[in-house]
Amino acid sequence: MAQIAPVLRLSSISKSFGGNSVLSGLNLDVGDNEVLGILGPNGAGKSTLFNIVAGVLTATSGEIVYQGRDITRLPAWSRCRAGIARTYQIPKPFSHMSVFENVLVAGVHGAGLRVAEARTRADDVLQRTGLARLGRDLAGGLRLLDLKRLELARALACQPKLLLLDEIAGGLTEGECDILVDLILSIKAEGKTVIWVEHVMEALRRGCSRLAVIYGGAVLADGSPAQVLSRTDVKAIYLGESGKA
């Protein structure tokens, strides 16, 4: 039986800033309809990897193949139109615009929808993420949980096949994390693929089918959450390092 090609294949991805090497020959496949958690110590290169997949940064070397297409040099907006959407660790809404307008803009410019289609999409997404009652509120006045929901809503308005979540559970209470994980699992159930960079371990345990640990600019461990988190080297490295990715 022929193997099914991954949704995303990262081959020998390297990234240097001047003389500082952040990623070095990283290889990673992401399968269809899985939730892959990415973890590692601060400074491991997680944020850099996300930015390379999203098209914010260009890899120094290596190849990115998405749904069988080489997108290594494709600009960020083209990747979004192709079905790759992301959230930001620090929410970045248009603060002077309403919640509904934020999601509408994502549908029009991110997914390329006509305004009428984007309005319908925005209504659906706001209902889905629990933000419908706040649609007319200014985004700049939202509390943290609702800002995180808005980040997710804007990404979903882009109609992604591959969703990139950047520490979306950070700063939330346990109960708020439970709400978020339930939402992510429901997104997976629709057939979407999720890559989730996170430090909230319990959220990853519950929400991910697979974990990959990045250390030294490459993948150190890859497997089920139970397999990865039980490794002695992962425990030592993850708990012992500090810095910024």
CA-based nearest residue to 207, from 161, 160, 165, 144: 165
Number of domains, the chain: 2
Domain final position from 142, 158, 174? 158
- Are residues 165 and 229 located together in one domain of the fold? yes
Residues 126 and 27 in one domain: no
**Per the structure block, which two tokens stand in for 37?**
């958690």
pLDDT range class, residue 145, cuts 50, 70, 90: confident
Number of Cβ within 10 Å of residue 184's Cβ equals: 23
Q: Give pLDDT, residue 3.
A: 57
Residues 167 and 229 in one domain: yes
Contact (Cβ atoms closer than 8 angstroms) between residue 12 and residue 26: yes
Distance between CA atoms of residues 32 and 12, nearest Å: 21
- Asked whether residue 161 carries a pLDDT value surpassing 50, the answer given is yes
pLDDT tens-digit profile of 23-36?
A: 999 999 999 999 99
Are residues 77 and 177 located together in one domain of the fold? Answer: yes
75 and 174 fall within a common domain: yes
Q: Does residue 185 contact residue 192 with C-beta atoms inside 8 Å?
A: no
Quickly tell me which residue has 């939402």 as its tokens. Answer: 183
* C-alpha separations of 125 from 33, 58, 161 in Å: 20, 31, 15
Kindly state whether residues 146 and 130 are assigned to the same domain. yes
Which positions ≥6 away from 232 have C-beta within 8 Å? none
pLDDT on residue 240: 55
The tens digit of pLDDT for each residue in 122-136 reads: 999 999 999 999 999
Instruction: Give 23's strand partners.
Output: 15
Same domain assignment for residues 201 and 237: yes
Tens digit of each residue's pLDDT (9 = 90 or more) over 53-74: 999 999 999 999 999 999 999 9
Six token digits for residue 194: 């999720």
The reply to whether 182 and 245 lie within a common domain is: yes
Report strand pairing: 61-66 vs 8-17: antiparallel
Domain coverage including residue 127: 92-158
Diameter over CA atoms, the chain = 54
One-letter amino acid of 232: T
Report helix, strand or coil for 66.
strand
At which of 126, 142, 158 does a domain end? 158
Domain boundary among 107, 131, 158: 158
One domain, residues 187 and 74: yes
CATH of the domain at 69: 3.40.50.300
- Regarding whether 108 and 128 lie in a shared domain, the answer is yes
- pLDDT > 90: percent of the chain: 69
Q: Are residues 111 and 190 in the same domain?
A: no
164 in the same domain as 138: no
The predicted pLDDT at position 2 comes to 47
Count of Cβ atoms closer than 10 Å to residue 188 Cβ? 17
